[in-house]
């Protein structure tokens, strides 16, 4: 009778065990040898990056976050208008860096119709960078923040207004003017 040698199972990589990386999907993206357009959302920020794979590691070529939008007159929040503007800014920076084509890397997030991921993708495409994606079905009034402005108008004068839009009030920004602020920031980014 022979003794067993080594473990009878293989331990997955740590990032896979922690549900941080899908290695099959990542390998498929890396085989294309095209820069990846990576979009991530935190509780307070939207982050868009162009990432290239070099031997042994990833290298971030272009980085845009919602905090970068302050210089364009936009108060950063993690919402659809911010996601669109971050995608637009990332696309403009990529175009300046001579990046003409990229592919979308969704990571572990599930792509859902009308989500921040597609708002950022629409902004990226509007900046003029080629990215293989079908027709993006997202309402332009939601991207411009019209729904936020209407909601703010409906809450005006109530206690809930101060709770819901406290960050805007502290920054001396009226959420009722969201659509105009969005258009101004978009024009400044496009210059």
Share of the chain above pLDDT 90, in %: 68
Inside any domain, residue 149:
yes
Share of the chain above pLDDT 70, in %: 99
Domains in the chain, number = 1
How confident is the model over 78-122, as pLDDT tens digits?
Answer: 999 999 999 999 999 999 999 999 999 988 888 888 899 999 999
**Residue 68: which domain range?**
21-190
Q: What is the pTM of this model?
A: 0.89
Contact 149, 177 (CB under 8 A): yes
Inside any domain, residue 7:
no
Contact 123, 86 (CB under 8 A): yes
CATH assignment at residue 79 = 3.30.420.100
The pLDDT of residue 1 is 66
Of 67, 123, 118, 136, the residue nearest 94 (C-alpha):
123
Helix, strand, coil percent values for the chain (each to nearest 5)? 45, 15, 40
Q: Which two tokens stand for residue 15?
A: 């990032």
pLDDT tier at 68 (50, 70, 90 boundaries)?
very high
């Amino acid at each position: 009778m022979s003794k067993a040698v080594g473990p009878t199972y293989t331990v997955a990589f740590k990032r896979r065990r922690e549900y941080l990386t899908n290695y099959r999907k990542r390998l498929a993206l890396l085989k294309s040898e095209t820069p990846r357009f990576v979009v991530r959302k935190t509780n307070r920020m939207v982050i868009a990056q162009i990432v290239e794979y070099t031997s042994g590691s990833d290298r971030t070529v272009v980085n845009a976050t919602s905090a970068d939008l302050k210089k364009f007159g936009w108060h950063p929040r993690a919402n659809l208008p911010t996601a669109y503007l971050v995608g637009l800014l990332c696309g403009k920076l990529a175009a300046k860096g001579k990046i003409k084509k990229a592919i979308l890397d969704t990571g572990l997030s599930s792509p859902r119709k009308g989500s921040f991921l597609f708002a950022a993708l629409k902004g990226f495409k509007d900046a003029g960078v080629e990215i293989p994606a079908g027709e993006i079905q997202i309402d332009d009034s939601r991207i411009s923040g019209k729904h936020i402005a209407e909601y703010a108008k409906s809450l005006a004068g109530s206690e809930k207004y101060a709770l819901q839009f406290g960050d805007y009030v502290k920054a001396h920004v009226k959420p009722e003017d969201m659509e105009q602020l969005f258009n101004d920031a978009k024009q400044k980014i496009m210059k």
